Amino acid sequence: MTSHTVLGIETSCDETAAAVLRLEDGHATILSEIVRSQVEDHAPYGGVVPEIAARAHADIADQVVAKAIGESGLKLSDMDAVAATSGPGLIGGVMVGMMTGKALALAVGKPFIPVNHLEGHALSPRLAEDCPFPYLLLLVSGGHCQFIEVTGLGQYRRLGTTIDDAAGEAFDKLAKLLDLGFPGGPAVERTAQGGDPARYRLPRPLMDRPGLDMSFAGLKTAAARIIEQGGMSQQDVSDLCASYQTAIADCLSARADRALGLFEVEGAKRLVVAGGVAANGAIRQALEHVAEGHGARLIAPPLRHCTDNAAMIALAGAEHLAAGALGPDAMRFAARPRWPLDEASALSNPVYGGGKRGAKA
């Protein structure tokens, strides 16, 4: 029996997280898991402030890591490797977690594994259940919205992506315009309860176009125009949230339906949905319906592993360690604010601009 125990660290946005995970013959066991949210720090601003996030990570990263190691019943020297999110994300936070991981690995002479945050989400369903390769992945979060063909560890092919805003960003924008609080996605979902999803006729961008690319900027603008008219009652707000949520679910499910039709694989098809927006009940229900229509199985992580967490980073690190796929210069790896899963497609066929920091997803 092969066993690998890895300490994972996640600091890409506004959660400071650490976890200890053991991977035995492909089965993951979470030995400890700590997440410290910064929701109260960012709530007054209606969104994450990068400078505040970076300072908060720097203040508590060592405490969170120490607590995770302590609760695992192990010592740092018992780890086979240390993995940390090294991109993409808010660069200040990414650097805090990555440098913490490097220092700990160096201190005990263990390998350091730089992990792509998006790969952590891509593998996150494997934390709780059997999810063999290959599978079709819908990665849907505050910063990313993509369909990706996952054929193996490190083998990712982009099939479609948003050409402007991510679905999670669209939820956050509506919540800010309606002053619903932060984080925006759960606030919109709560407010949508009891609302009429057919009340407002909102656009479903790109639905009439071929391919799997998506767009949510026009939906944000349409909702903003309604809000600008003023005089909205609480019922109006609930109806708008319900209509908006349904529009996003329709866009994602229609593209998932097309993607599953194009996804050719021997045996049973698997549709995996991961990322923070995967916690939305209406979207899960819409995707479940689509999967059933294709005889596919919808797989989603437990709700606590949809949002950013260190268990998925530890799992990604452990899987790379088990596969012997560690680069020789991990200690020299530089934090990356942009790090597409399918970097070849992002460079050769960018959906939107790149810039000095590299190709966007």
- The DSSP code sequence of 60-80 is HHHHHHHHHHHHHT--GGG-S
Q: How far apart are CA 291 and CA 228, in angstroms?
A: 38
Instruction: Give the DSSP letter of residue 275.
Output: S
344/167: higher pLDDT: 167
Res. 266: pLDDT tops 90? no
Asked if residues 339 and 316 have their Cβ atoms less than 8 Å apart, the reply is no
CATH topology of domain 133-300: Nucleotidyltransferase; domain 5 (3.30.420)
Read off φ and ψ for residue 281, nearest 5 degrees. -65, -40
pTM of the model: 0.92
Tokens 């190691």 belong to residue: 69
| Residue 32, both tokens | 């400890």
Local structure of 12: helix, strand or coil: coil
Judge whether 3-124+305-341 and 133-300 match in fold. yes
CATH topology of domain 3-124+305-341: Nucleotidyltransferase; domain 5 (3.30.420)
Distance of CA 92 to the CA centre of its chain: 18
Beta strands 15-24; 27-37: pairing state:
antiparallel
- Cα-based distances in Å from 183 to 35, 107, 128, 214: 16, 37, 25, 23
Res. 155: pLDDT tops 70? yes
Tokens 């066929």 belong to residue: 349
* Confidence at residue 39, expressed as pLDDT on a 0 to 100 scale: 81
Res. 358: pLDDT tops 90? no
Tokens 């925006």 belong to residue: 184
pLDDT per residue as tens digits for the range 57-116: 999 999 999 999 999 999 999 999 999 999 999 999 999 999 999 999 999 999 999 999
Local structure of 268: helix, strand or coil: coil
Local structure of 132: helix, strand or coil: coil
Q: How far apart are CA 52 and CA 266, in angstroms?
A: 48
111/128: higher pLDDT: 111
Q: How far apart are CA 68 and CA 34, in angstroms?
A: 6
Segments making up each domain of the chain, as ranges: 3-124+305-341, 133-300
Q: How far apart are CA 267 and CA 288, in angstroms?
A: 19
